[in-house]
C-alpha cells in the first residue's frame, strides 16, 4: 500500500531529468510550473465573479478545482508517485465534468435529455464510472483526457458557426492557438524526448502547464460569454481585456452591462 505513495511509483516519467536541481523534487521545472495554476485561478475567480453572481455561483467551482489541479500536478511531478498521477488525472477529469455540466449548450443535449439537471446527473454518473475505470489502465488516462480537448474544440466550432463579432472570433482564435501550442508541447515531450535531450532542453512539459492554464483561461471566458448570451441575454454580456483594453496581452473577461431582468433591446 505504501508503495503507491513512493517516489517514482508511477509508470509515467516525463522528459525532464529527475533530481537535477533537488534531491527531494523529482522534476523541478515541471513542479514549479504547476504553480502557474495558483496565479491564474484567483485572477479568473475575480474576473468571472460578476457573471457567476448573475448566472450561478456554482460556476466558481471550475476555477476553485483548477487550484486543486495545480496542487496535485505539483505533487505528482515532485514525487512521480502513482497516487500523484491519479490525483492529477482525476482532478482534471472532474474539472472537465463540472465544465460540461454547467456550460455544455442546451441545444446540443441528446434528445432524451430534457433539462440541465438531468444532464448534470448523467455527467456525474459517467464521471464516477470513468473515475473507477481510470485505475484499470492508468497510462491511457492522459490520452483519454486529451480527447476532451478535441471534443471541446468541436463543440466551440459548432457554437461559433453563426458568430460574426470580431472580438469573440479573436478570442476563439487565441484560445485555439494556445491550445494547439500547449498540446504540441505535451506530445513532443511524450514522444520526442530523445531529440530534446540532445538539445539539452527538456522543459516542454512545464511549458505545457503554463500554456494550458492560459488556454483554459481564454477558453472558459469564451464559453462563459456564449453561455451568458444564451442563458442570461438580458445582462448584455460583452468581452473586455484586463488590465487594459489597449495592451497587446491581457486577460479576457466578461462585463455585464445590465443586471436587471428586462428584455434585451435589439
Ligand X SMILES: CCCCCCCC/C=C\CCCCCCCC(=O)N[C@@H](CO)[C@H](O)/C=C/CCCCCCCCCCCCC
Cell numbers of 24, please?
527531494
Query: Is residue 89 part of an annotated ligand binding site?
Result: no
Q: Select the binding partner of residue 13 from Ca ion, Zn ion, ligand X, none (C-beta < 5 to 8 A, by kind).
A: Ca ion
Residue with Cβ nearer Ca ion (48 or 185) = 185
Binding site for Ca ion (CB under 5 A): 13-14, 16, 18
The 61-90 contact track toward Zn ion, x by CB under 5 A, reads: ------------x-----------------
**Cα 11 to Cα 56: distance, rounded to the nearest angstrom:** 40
Nearest residue to 41 via CA among 240, 241, 217, 223? 217
Contact call for residues 79 and 87 (beta carbons, < 8 A): no
Q: Which long-range contacts (CB under 8 A, 24 or more apart) does 241-250 make?
A: 242/47
Residue with Cβ nearer ligand X (82 or 103) = 103
99 binds ligand X (CB under 6 A): yes
68 binds ligand X (CB under 6 A): no
Residue with Cβ nearer Zn ion (88 or 227) = 88
**Cα 265 to Cα 165: distance, rounded to the nearest angstrom:** 17
Can you spell out the DSSP letters for 15-50?
SSPTTSS-SS-SSHHHHHHTTHHHHHHHHHHHHTHH
148 binds ligand X (CB under 6 A): yes
Q: Select the binding partner of residue 252 from Zn ion, ligand X, Ca ion, none (C-beta < 5 to 8 A, by kind).
A: none
Our CA angle for 144, 169, 209, nearest 5°, is 40
Residue with Cβ nearer Zn ion (63 or 76) = 76
Residues that bind ligand X (rule: CB under 6 A) add up to a total of 31
Query: Is residue 209 part of an annotated ligand binding site?
Result: yes
**Residue set of the binding site:** 13-14, 16, 18, 27, 77, 205, 209
Interface with Zn ion by CB under 5 A: which residues?
A: 73
Amino acid at each position: 500500500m505504501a508503495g503507491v505513495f513512493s517516489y517514482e511509483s508511477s509508470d509515467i516519467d516525463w522528459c525532464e531529468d529527475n533530481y537535477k536541481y533537488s534531491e527531494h523534487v523529482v522534476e523541478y521545472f515541471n513542479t514549479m510550473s504547476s504553480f502557474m495554476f495558483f496565479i491564474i485561478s484567483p485572477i479568473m475567480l475575480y474576473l468571472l465573479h460578476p457573471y457567476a453572481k448573475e448566472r450561478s455561483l456554482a460556476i466558481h467551482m471550475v476555477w476553485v478545482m483548477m487550484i486543486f489541479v495545480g496542487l496535485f500536478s505539483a505533487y505528482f511531478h515532485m514525487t512521480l508517485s502513482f497516487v500523484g498521477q491519479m490525483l492529477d488525472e482525476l482532478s482534471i477529469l472532474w474539472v472537465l465534468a463540472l465544465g460540461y455540466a454547467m456550460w455544455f449548450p442546451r441545444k446540443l443535449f441528446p434528445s432524451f435529455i430534457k433539462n440541465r439537471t438531468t444532464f448534470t446527473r448523467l455527467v456525474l454518473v459517467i464521471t464516477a464510472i470513468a473515475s473507477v475505470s481510470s485505475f484499470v489502465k492508468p497510462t491511457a488516462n492522459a490520452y483519454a483526457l486529451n480527447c476532451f480537448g478535441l471534443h471541446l474544440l468541436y463543440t466551440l466550432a459548432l457554437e461559433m458557426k453563426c458568430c460574426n463579432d470580431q472580438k469573440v472570433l479573436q478570442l476563439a482564435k487565441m484560445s485555439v492557438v494556445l491550445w494547439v501550442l500547449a498540446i504540441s508541447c505535451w506530445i513532443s515531450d511524450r514522444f520526442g524526448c530523445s531529440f530534446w535531450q540532445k538539445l539539452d532542453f527538456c522543459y516542454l512539459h512545464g511549458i505545457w502547464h503554463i500554456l494550458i492554464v492560459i488556454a483554459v483561461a481564454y477558453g472558459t471566458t469564451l464559453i462563459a460569454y456564449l453561455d451568458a448570451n444564451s442563458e442570461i441575454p438580458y445582462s448584455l454580456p460583452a468581452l473586455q481585456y484586463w488590465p487594459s483594453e489597449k495592451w497587446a496581452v491581457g486577460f479576457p473577461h466578461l462585463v455585464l452591462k445590465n443586471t436587471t431582468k428586462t428584455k434585451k433591446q435589439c
